[in-house]
Amino acid sequence: MIFNLAATPRELAISLIILMTVFIFVRALRSKGRKQVSPPGPPSFPIIGNLLQLGDHPYLTFMEMRKKYGDVFLLKLGMVPVVVVNGVEMVKQVLLKDGEQFAGRPNMHTFSFLAEGKSLSFSVNYGESWKAHKKIASNALRTFSKAEAKSSTCSCLLEEHVTEEASELVKVFVDLTSKNGSFEPRSAITCAVANVVCALCFGKRYDHSDEEFLRIVKTNDDLLKASSIANPADFIPCFRYLPLRIINAPREFYQALNQFIGKHVQDHLTTYDKDHIRDITDALINTCHNKYAATKTATLNDDQIISTVSDLFGAGFETVSTCLYWSFLYLIHYPDIQAKIQEEIGRNIGLRPPRFEDRKFLPYTEAFINEVFRHVSFIPLTIPHCTTADTTLNGYFIPRKTCIFINMYQVNHDETIWDTPNLFRPERFLNENRELNKSLVEKVLIFGMGIRKCLGEDVARNEIFIFITTVLQQLKLKKCPSVELDLTPTYGLTMKPKPYQLQAELHPLRSLST
C-alpha cells in the first residue's frame, strides 16, 4: 500500500508526490482526449476535399449534412478544414456568447484585393485596433444616416437622398414601360441604390448613363456572377494562377472599385474644409485631422479612410439592391400582397412622400420586407469567420485559425422557429393586434449578429422601406401576361433572382387618397 501508518515522513512525502503526479497525468490525458474530439463530417478526397460535394447551392447541402452530422460538422474544402455551424443556439454561441473567440477572418484570396487587404469587414486582424476602426466608421455612418442629424454642416442626409433616388426610380420605371412595354429592372435598381451610397459617401450622384458609374456597376455584376463562397482559389492555392473567370473576377472588380473610391477620397483630401463637413468621407478625414479626438481615440491614415469608405460603399450597395430586386419580383408574383401594402400606404400616409418614421405606421409593409429577408435569405452564409484561439463548440475542439461557415439560410428556414418556413407569408410577423412582432423580426438572420454584424443594417432597412413605399405609392407593378415567374435563385456571394420583366402603371393610390 502507498499509505502505511508506520511509514516514515520521507516515505509518506514520496508517496504523496507519486499520487499527485499520477493524478495530474491522468487528468491531462483526459483533458487532451477531450480536446482532440473533432466535429464529425463526411469523408473527403485528397487535395480537393469536399468541394465537389457542395453542389450549386452549398447552404442546402449543409442542411442535408446537418441531418446526419448535427449542427456542427467538419468539411475539408481543398486543403482547408472548415467547420460549418447550423442551428440558432450554435449560431448564437459563435456570434454572441463566444463572439471574441470566433471574430477572426480567414486569410482568403478572394477578399485580399478589397481596399488592398485593409478592409474593415474582411480584415483578418481582430483586436483593439480593429475595434477602434469599427467605432470610427460606425460614428461616421450614424452621423449621416439618421433623420434627426440635420445641421448646417450636414448636406448629405440619407433620408433626403433616398427619397430623391426613389422618386427618380419611379420616373425611370414609367419611362421604360412607355418605351418598351415591359423592362428588366435590375440595372435601374442598381443605379438608384448606388447613387444613394455615392451621395452618402461622396456628396454626389451620377446620371444612370454615366460611363464611369456604369463600369463599376457592371464590374460588380461580373464579380457576383463569377463568385461564390467556395471559390477554389481560396482553398487550393495553385488555382490562383489559372486563367479562370472565377479566379480573376474578384481582382478586376476590387481594383476598379479601389480606383473609383480612391479617386474620390483624394479629391476630398484636397478640398477638405473642417468647417463644412459634406459627407461620410469628410467626417472620416475630420476624425483623423482632429488632434483632440486623436488623443482620446485611435485614428485612421489615408489608406484606412479609403478602406473604410469601401466597406461602407459595399455594405450600402449590394444588400439593398439585391433585396429590392427580389422584392419587386415577389410583388408581381403575389399581387394580393402588393395590394395590401398599397392599401396600408393609402390609409396611413396617402400621397405625401414616405419618411423613415413611417415604418412604425406600416406594419404589414415591414412584415413583407422581413419575410423577403427570411424567405429568400439572399445572403445565405455569413462572410467566413475564423477562430482567434483554441476553443470548443457543441463539445468539439476547434483549433485556433479554423475557418468557420455560418449557415444563416438554415436558421431562417428552421422548422423549430418558423411555421411552414418554405411558405412566403408576411402575416407571420404580425401579432393578433396586427402589430409587428419585433421579437420574431430579431430571429431573422441576414445582417449577421454580434461583433462582426453588418454596420449598415439600420441604413439598409430604412432605405429599402423608402424605395418600396415610394414605388408602390405611385405605381402598380405587374408581371408580363402569360409569362411564368421563376423564384429560384442563382447562387453567388449574394443570391440573385433570374432576370425577369415587369410593367409599371401610374398612380394606383390616387383613388384611395380622394
Of the candidates 71, 279, 250, the residue with the CA atom closest to the CA atom of residue 161: 279
Mean pLDDT of 470-491: 92
Nearest 5°: the CA angle 135, 136, 141 is 95
Query: Could you tell me if 1 and 101 lie in one domain?
Result: no
* Residue 181: all three cell numbers together: 412595354
Whole-structure pTM value: 0.86
- List the single range of 86-90, 105-109, 113-117, 213-217 with lowest mean pLDDT: 113-117
Side-chain half-sphere exposure of 323, counting CA atoms within 13 A:
28
Q: Is the pLDDT of residue 117 over 90?
A: no
CATH number, domain of 410, equals: 1.10.630.10
Q: What is the Cα–Cα distance from 106 to 446, expressed in whole angstroms? A: 21
Domain assignment of residue 414, yes or no: yes
Q: Which of the four pLDDT bands, split at 50, 70 and 90, describes residue 226?
A: low
| Rounded CA Rg of the chain | 26
Any binding-site annotation on 454? yes
Q: Is the pLDDT of residue 33 over 70?
A: no
Q: Is the pLDDT of residue 168 over 80?
A: yes
Q: Report percent pLDDT > 70 for the chain.
A: 80
**Structural domain total, the chain:** 2
Query: Could you tell me if 22 and 136 lie in one domain?
Result: no
Domain assignment of residue 43, yes or no: no
Query: Could you tell me if 395 and 285 lie in one domain?
Result: yes
Domain assignment of residue 446, yes or no: yes
| DSSP, res 111 | T
Q: What share of the chain is helix, strand, coil (3-state, %, to 5)?
A: 55, 10, 35
Query: Of how many residues is the chain composed?
Result: 514
Q: What is the Cα–Cα distance from 479 to 83, expressed in whole angstroms? A: 42
Query: Could you tell me if 180 and 137 lie in one domain?
Result: yes
Is residue 323 a contact partner of residue 317, using CB atoms and an 8 Å limit? no
Query: Could you tell me if 258 and 310 lie in one domain?
Result: yes
Beta-carbon neighbour count of residue 201 at 10 Å? 29
Query: Could you tell me if 300 and 264 lie in one domain?
Result: yes
* Residue 28: all three cell numbers together: 491531462
pLDDT for position 430: 96
Domain assignment of residue 44, yes or no: no
Q: Which of the four pLDDT bands, split at 50, 70 and 90, describes residue 152?
A: very low
Domain assignment of residue 41, yes or no: no
| DSSP, res 99 | G
pLDDT for position 508: 60
Domain assignment of residue 168, yes or no: yes
Is residue 112 a contact partner of residue 118, using CB atoms and an 8 Å limit? no
* Residue 167: all three cell numbers together: 422618386
Query: Could you tell me if 12 and 117 lie in one domain?
Result: no
Query: Could you tell me if 24 and 97 lie in one domain?
Result: no
Query: Could you tell me if 294 and 322 lie in one domain?
Result: yes
Structural domain boundaries enclosing 437: 51-513
Domain assignment of residue 42, yes or no: no
pLDDT for position 25: 61
Beta-carbon neighbour count of residue 39 at 10 Å? 22
What pLDDT, in 10s, does the model give residues 337-350? 999 999 999 999 99
* Residue 247: all three cell numbers together: 479566379
Query: Could you tell me if 8 and 151 lie in one domain?
Result: no
